[in-house]
Amino acid sequence: MKELRTQVAIVGAGPAGLLLGHMLHLQGIESVILEHRSREYVEKRVRAGVIEFGIANLLEEVGAGERLRREGLVHRGIELRYDHSAHRIPLSELADGKIYTVYGQQEVVKDLIALRVAQGAPLHFDTEVTAIEDVNTTAPYIDARCGDEDLRVHADFVAGCDGSFGASHRAIPSDVFRRYERVYPFSWLGILAEAPPATEELIYGRHENGFVLYSMRSPTISRLYLGVRPDETLDQWSDEQIWDELAERLSTDERPEVNRGPILERGITAMRSVVIEPMRYGRLFLAGDAAHIVPPTGAKGMNLALGDVRVLAEALDTYYVKNDEALLDAYSATCLERVWRAEEFSNYMTQMLHPNYEDEFENGVQRARLRQATQSREAATVLSRNYVDLNTM
């Protein structure tokens, strides 16, 4: 068995694990990142694409935001569509001039991997972590497997950044571990299409057939979603049916436009909210989707993950520089306060925009919420502040 020693062992090279490794490197703290998948796989994994104001600033401050500033699309509002009419929410105007940036998660991942490789810092792809041991001592270790080779990494701390399908939370004993979950009765069918977006701003729509979202990744690539029933499968939807349904759900009395083009990727994602508590056990710290999942309606998943890392990197720095554990001790409570706010906002957006196929009372409440969000300046202001900059406020 090959053995390594580092200060912080990081499980997972998603946005959370990669940003943590990069920030620790800037602080002079050694880390080893272990990633189950190949570099090519993680660099091509299309997921989130909305970056909050404060999170974009954070990426820039740590030298990972150069391409984001150059290629990211700056947005100042969103549109809500319901009852066949369109209503713009002027997010920046209502949130102290702050903007948000549309820039694909896989681009953030590519930028952070390029920095790590240029630094010559350890990043092991195709390496699956199989066990995390002794987290309740000052000498935890990780066992991993890379092809036929077994690897053991000894560390001062372990960061579980292994996402919603990861295993690091299993190192928390069952009498301490708590998991809160809500499963929504719908999924999202998402496509990435080679088609110039027909809208400058994101459109979130509630149509009687279901939810719809029109977003984009660049001036030539559109990203669109349809709310579908949880048991629906991709083979039930032809390309033409997807485009027709998007056009129908997005149509308003004035604007019935959708630009069609070749579909490059498609997938169905279940909608869930999950919070794991505590986010720290002994020398193990969970960050990102390893600790919480939000339905993507509020565009919070990646932002929340990077927000955790900001807190953890500062806490580890304080420990190594001043031998002070106060911020590490506060890590779980500090993050959970923000995590629950993001859960609340994601739940609010989700419940407002997905019609309930069985419950007409619920549908009446949803329409009332939409009218409030679009007609009351106070309600639109709360929505705007949460959408644009929840994670660093």
Ligand X SMILES: Cc1cc2nc3c(=O)[nH]c(=O)nc-3n(C[C@H](O)[C@H](O)[C@H](O)COP(=O)(O)OP(=O)(O)OC[C@H]3O[C@@H](n4cnc5c(N)ncnc54)[C@H](O)[C@@H]3O)c2cc1C
Does 12 engage in binding with ligand X (CB under 6 A)? yes
Assess whether 98 carries a catalytic annotation. no
Interface with ligand X by CB under 6 A: which range of 11-19, 178-186, 276-284, 371-379?
Answer: 11-19
Q: Minimal distance in Å, beta carbon 249 to ligand X?
A: 17
Residues facing 383 on adjacent strands:
none
Cα–Cα distances (Å) from 206 to 48, 79, 88, 183, 343, in that order, read 20, 11, 14, 20, 20
- Cα separation, 210 vs 189, whole angstroms: 11
Q: Looking at residues 271 to 330 of the shown chain, list those that interact with ligand X (rule: CB under 6 A).
A: 288-289, 296, 299, 301-302, 305
Shorter beta-carbon distance to ligand X: residue 283 or 292: 292
Does 36 engage in binding with ligand X (CB under 6 A)? yes
Instruction: Write the CB contacts of 80 (distance below 8 Å, at least 6 apart in sequence).
Output: 86, 87, 89, 203, 204, 205, 206, 370, 373, 374
Assess whether 387 carries a catalytic annotation. yes
Q: Of 82, 141, 281, 387, which one is the catalytic site residue? A: 387
Assess whether 300 carries a catalytic annotation. yes
- Cα separation, 258 vs 222, whole angstroms: 10
- Cα separation, 15 vs 50, whole angstroms: 13
Binds ligand X by CB under 6 A, chosen from 43, 126, 128, 143: 128
Instruction: Write the CB contacts of 282 (distance below 8 Å, at least 6 apart in sequence).
Output: 135, 136, 137, 140
Assess whether 296 carries a catalytic annotation. yes
- Read off the tokens for 121: 């810092």
Does 136 engage in binding with ligand X (CB under 6 A)? no
Does 113 engage in binding with ligand X (CB under 6 A)? no
Query: Percent helix, strand and coil across the chain, each rounded to 5?
Result: 40, 30, 30
Interface with ligand X by CB under 6 A: which range of 30-38, 74-82, 201-209, 368-376?
Answer: 30-38
- Cα separation, 115 vs 119, whole angstroms: 6
Say how far residue 168 (Cα) sits from the centre of its chain.
Answer: 18
Does 107 engage in binding with ligand X (CB under 6 A)? no
Q: Minimal distance in Å, beta carbon 305 to ligand X?
A: 4
Does 16 engage in binding with ligand X (CB under 6 A)? yes
Assess whether 75 carries a catalytic annotation. yes
Interface with ligand X by CB under 6 A: which range of 42-50, 131-139, 329-337, 382-390?
Answer: 42-50
Q: Looking at residues 43 to 82 of the shown chain, list those that interact with ligand X (rule: CB under 6 A).
A: 47-48
- Cα separation, 44 vs 109, whole angstroms: 9
Per CB under 6 A, residues contacting ligand X are 11-17, 34-37, 42, 47-48, 105, 128-129, 161-167, 269, 288-289, 296, 299, 301-302, 305
Which residues belong to the active site? Answer: 75, 204, 296, 300, 387
